[in-house]
Amino acid sequence: MPPQWTLLIAIHAIAAAFSILFGAFQLVRRTKGGAIHRTIGRVWVFAMYVVTLTSFGVQTLNGGFTWLHGLAVFTLFTVSVGLWAARTRRIQAHRSFMKGSYFGVLGAFVGVVVVPERRIPQMAIHDLAGLALWTAAIVLTAFFTVLGFSRLSAKTKDVSHRPHTPNVVDSTADS
């Protein structure tokens, strides 16, 4: 019998999936530092904080903590330092801490899916259709989020590059 999904575990899993998808998007983009990078980066940081904080409510089947919880503490630190580095224009430090945090969450994901007793492998065995549906919903949500932010950024950029024309007021209209 697969372990039950609680609301906390579902939020944790969804945030983890988003952190993996948005982090991958950030890594493969050639352009860094623009509006899209900053916006998706904020979403990614939020997802990472949700993953790390909710992880403390997710314990092993016997009720204990594992190396993943130690990784969560370390990730809280690395994401926070990476965020601070970006805000203080320490770009190389920002890049290093965020890449390390991303690869850490990937490592945690691998650590979760290779243990057959965990929820995701159990769902793959007992409810493959449900897992496929959840995966599709998360991937599509992430895709449309990126697409929406990209279009919004393009519209904002288009508006900000228009030449400034002062408003001309017809002085005879009031007379």
Cα angle, residue 132 at apex, residues 129 and 134 outer, rounded to 5°: 110
Binning pLDDT at 50, 70 and 90, where does residue 159 land?
low
Any idea which residue has 């983890």 for tokens?
16
pLDDT above 80: residue 125: yes
Average pLDDT of the chain to the nearest whole number: 83
> Can you tell me the mean pLDDT for 19-27?
95
> Can you tell me the mean pLDDT for 121-131?
84
Higher pLDDT, 126 or 85: 85
Position 164 scores a pLDDT of: 47
> What is the distance between the terminal CA atoms of the chain, rounded to a whole angstrom?
82
Q: What is the pTM of this model?
A: 0.77
Other C-beta atoms lying within 10 Å of the C-beta of residue 56: 13
pLDDT above 80: residue 165: no
Distance CA 132, CA 138 (A): 10
pLDDT above 70: residue 174: no
> Can you tell me the mean pLDDT for 28-55?
91
Q: Which of 36-45, 61-70, 106-115 has the least mean pLDDT?
A: 61-70
Distance CA 5, CA 159 (A): 46
Helices (H), the chain: 7-28, 35-55, 67-87, 91-113, 119-126, 128-160
Binning pLDDT at 50, 70 and 90, where does residue 62 land?
low
pLDDT above 90: residue 10: no
Q: Which of 23-37, 53-67, 109-123, 143-157 has the least mean pLDDT?
A: 53-67
> Can you tell me the mean pLDDT for 140-144?
90
